[in-house]
Structure 1
Amino acid sequence: MRVLGVDPGLTRCGVGVVEGVAGRPLTMLGVGVVRTPVDADLSHRLLAVEQGIEQWLDEHRPEFVAVERVFSQHNVRTVMGTAQASAVAMLCAARRGIPVALHTPSEVKAAVTGSGRADKAQVGAMVTRLLRLAAPPKPADAADALALAICHIWRAPAQNRLQQAVARHTAHATKGRTA
């Protein structure tokens, strides 16, 4: 499974591609940050994020895109920019028919470190260890994008089984009502 992880942001949008399957060693195929100038018009910043993500999709051809689910923050301007960048990433994937998964920050931290309250340094250290890298990816947005991809690879099989079970249950319940 090849996953593009996206840590959305307007100034720095972390991107990272990981390949592998749950239970086996994972491989980092690329990591980086799509940057936009703080003083640029919002529409141009969103366009720059879109162009950057499109380049990553073209180059790495992921099967899935994992995006950090936007959560409430104290600074409304920050959460708005994060939400807008997140929407751009989802749009780019949807345009190509690539499934998108949203993961909460605590879900990603728990998957990668074992604790949903891990700090950025712990996430970076575990990403470095799991992907057998020489040093933690910088900035933290890049490491977070890789953590999102790892989280999705590890959690997707269980999530798929759960969704299939719910679908079977729903189909069985519906069939019982029509009989």
Structure 2
Amino acid sequence: MRVSARRLAARRRETTGCAGHVIRIGLGLATIALLFLLLARPQISAALGRSLADLLAPSVPTVDSADAPLPSLVAALPAGRVTVSEAEVNGYLADISATLPVEAVHVRFLSERAVISVRGYGMTGVISSGMIVRDGRIALLDPQIEGPLAMLLSAPDLAAVLNERLNTELLRQDRQIIEARITDGYLTIVTR
């Protein structure tokens, strides 16, 4: 029995080499990434989504929210058809850039999609979405986030928060969007 005990002890001391260590490190990193995606990302995404939505349109109107972009945009919408170019939108975003926690924002209107390039917190990302009107409520259609921002933000979570805030603001100001259409270079909205 002593001989087998010595062999067993000797086997335990043997190393598996570099390949074994690389595999263990890889599995450890994969486990950490999976835990992040399952546990932390939804909370971070929801918190960032609410923060962004609060900057655009606070959930509870206060004196400080008078400068929020979304309420003033909805108030400025005339009844009827309004067509806005991407140059006008980018000019407006340049004017309110101090309100947003980003370094740069650029909007492009492509056939049926709005594509927003965002640079902030040292990261660059592209957010894109279509738009649809159902039962007088506007909704983002097939939202997508690309780049490093996709690691922090979930497109469906962000879209849900933004849809809710936009529609709440429209209802609060007794406005209704009948139609919304994105064409190359332009956004057309019909309100009443």
TM-score normalised per structure 1:
0.28
Query: Relative contact order: is structure 1 or structure 2 higher (C-alpha 8 Å, sep ≥ 6)?
Result: 1
Relative to total residues, which structure has the larger strand share, 1 or 2?
Answer: 2
Whose Rg is larger?
A: 2
Relative to total residues, which structure has the larger helix share, 1 or 2?
Answer: 1
